[in-house]
Amino acid sequence: MLKDVANIVRGLSADIVEKANSGHPGMPIGCADIGALLFGEIMNIDASKSDWP
């Protein structure tokens, strides 16, 4: 599942840079696996509470 999330982030990053006609997608494409792992398994995040720190 995390690999799927990372691949979606990669695709969205490339689309956003292309649509903006500006920017460099290298960092978000390169760090997509790290972000997916952090948000998916390591960080303690409760998305159901909008006021949660």
Answer whether 40's CB lies under 8 Å from 5's CB.
Answer: yes
Assess whether pLDDT exceeds 70 at residue 53.
no
The 3-class SS string of 1-53 reads CHHHHHHHHHHHHHHHHHHHCCCCCHHHHHCHHHHHHHHHHHCCCCCCCCCCC
Answer whether 8's CB lies under 8 Å from 40's CB.
Answer: no
Which of the four pLDDT bands, split at 50, 70 and 90, describes residue 45?
A: confident
Predicted TM-score (pTM) of the model is: 0.75
Write the CB contacts of 46 (distance below 8 Å, at least 6 apart in sequence). Answer: 52
Q: Check residue 18 and give its pLDDT.
A: 93
Assess whether pLDDT exceeds 90 at residue 51.
no
Domain ranges of the chain: 2-39
pLDDT digits (tens, 9 = 90+) for 21-42: 999 989 999 999 999 999 999 9
